[in-house]
């Protein structure tokens, strides 16, 4: 039995992914405090909506999908109710395996995972790191659960704040660029619908080219940049506005915030 505690955006994405990849609704529980939301999830997916105590009691894998700020309260609520063989997977930004272990008595197997919102369409990128009492089989199990919403990589836990800043928050950076490009197209007289189509297909096409193992972003960018052409003029403006520095600073700020979240 798998239980998802926190039926918000990411909890629902994981729930939908698990069901889409062959898990039966009868094998998944959800715990969500908002009664309307809880009922909506129950109706939409046919899973049982139960209390956190019941989730802890019945599940052998518990996925904690609450906000980092709610995590300590939740752990204190779950402490003592989690069986010795239960695997606890947290997807909360910044919450370390040692913080999870500190608030759960006994040698609980914990996994820190960082997915992203493309999980909603089965194209997520998740990184996982195991805790001090987590066996290789338990990490495999966590990986196979999270694979239901996309690709999974294993990283050393010291990289998890960086992962959070790159792939966890990353979709928002691309939406920021997309929004800017669409608005530029509109300002130049295109319809918003046409501009969105151009931008969406361009992002998808660029990502597909970059996905080739031999591809390098600098080489791909050079192929677009004709001497004396339009791209060179655009890139010169990006450099003039220090967009590279702005992006690097943004990613560093996200990593710093992830670190702070573990401090409460």
Site for ligand A1CAB (CB under 6 A): which residue of 101, 164, 182, 199?
A: 164
Residue 150 φ/ψ region, left for φ over 0, alpha for ψ in the -120 to 50 degree band, beta for the rest: left
* Residue 5, CA distances (Å) to 47, 56, 171, 174 in order: 13, 9, 24, 29
Distance CA 203, CA 175 (A): 10
What, of ligand A1CAB, ligand NDP, none, does residue 166 touch, CB below 5 to 8 Å by kind?
A: none
Distance CA 62, CA 55 (A): 7
Applying CB under 6 A, the span of 1-9, 131-139, 161-169, 216-224 interacting with ligand A1CAB comes to: 161-169
Distance CA 243, CA 179 (A): 16
Residue 99 makes contact with ligand NDP by CB under 6 A: no
Nearer to ligand A1CAB, 148 or 169 (CB): 169
Work out how close the CB of 3 gets to ligand NDP at its nearest, in angstroms, rounded to a whole number.
10
Nearer to ligand A1CAB, 131 or 168 (CB): 168
DSSP state of 190: -
Nearer to ligand A1CAB, 131 or 170 (CB): 170
Longest Cα–Cα distance of the chain, Å, equals: 68
Site for ligand A1CAB (CB under 6 A): which residue of 31, 138, 162, 169?
A: 169
Nearer to ligand NDP, 123 or 197 (CB): 123
Work out how close the CB of 49 gets to ligand A1CAB at its nearest, in angstroms, rounded to a whole number.
24
Applying CB under 6 A, the span of 5-13, 149-157, 214-222, 239-247 interacting with ligand NDP comes to: 5-13
Nearer to ligand NDP, 34 or 140 (CB): 34
Is the Cα torsion angle 158, 251, 118, 203 positive or negative in sign? negative
Distance CA 93, CA 261 (A): 7
Distance CA 219, CA 233 (A): 18
Burial class of 1 by CB neighbour count within 10 A (0 to 12, 13 to 18, 19+): middle
Residue 7 makes contact with ligand NDP by CB under 6 A: yes
Residue 150 makes contact with ligand A1CAB by CB under 6 A: no
Distance CA 97, CA 89 (A): 9
Work out how close the CB of 130 gets to ligand A1CAB at its nearest, in angstroms, rounded to a whole number.
20
x/- contact string, 111-130, with ligand A1CAB (CB under 6 A)?
Answer: --------------------
Nearer to ligand A1CAB, 243 or 253 (CB): 253
DSSP state of 124: E
Residue 93 makes contact with ligand A1CAB by CB under 6 A: yes
> Is residue 9 within 8 Å of residue 16, measured between CB atoms?
no
Residues that bind ligand NDP (CB under 6 A): 5-11, 31-34, 37, 52, 65-68, 70, 74, 91-93, 114-117, 168
Residues that bind ligand A1CAB (CB under 6 A): 93, 164, 168-169
């Amino acid at each position: 039995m798998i239980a998802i505690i926190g039926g918000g955006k990411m909890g629902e994405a994981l729930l939908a992914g698990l069901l889409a990849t062959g898990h039966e609704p009868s094998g998944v529980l959800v715990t969500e405090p908002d009664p309307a939301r809880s009922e909506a999830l129950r109706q939409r997916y046919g899973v049982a909506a139960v209390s956190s105590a019941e989730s802890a009691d019945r599940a052998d894998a518990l996925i904690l999908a609450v906000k980092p700020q709610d995590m300590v309260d939740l752990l204190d609520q779950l402490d003592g109710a989690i069986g010795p063989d239960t695997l606890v997977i947290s997807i909360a930004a910044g919450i370390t395996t040692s913080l999870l272990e500190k608030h759960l008595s006994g040698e609980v197997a914990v996994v820190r995972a960082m997915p992203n919102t493309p999980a909603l369409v089965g194209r997520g990128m998740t990184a996982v790191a195991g805790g001090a009492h987590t066996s290789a089989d338990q990490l495999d199990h966590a990986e196979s659960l999270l694979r239901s919403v996309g690709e999974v990589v294993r990283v050393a836990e010291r990289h998890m704040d960086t992962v959070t800043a790159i792939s966890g928050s990353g979709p928002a950076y691309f939406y920021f660029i997309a929004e800017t490009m669409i608005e530029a197209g509109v300002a130049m007289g295109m319809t918003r619908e046409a501009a969105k189509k151009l931008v969406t297909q361009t992002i998808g096409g660029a990502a597909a080219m970059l996905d080739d193992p031999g591809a390098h972003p600098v080489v791909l960018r050079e192929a677009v940049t004709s001497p004396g052409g339009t791209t060179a003029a655009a890139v010169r403006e990006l450099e003039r506005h220090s967009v590279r520095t702005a992006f690097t600073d943004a990613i560093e700020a996200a990593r710093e915030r992830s670190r702070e979240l573990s401090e409460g």
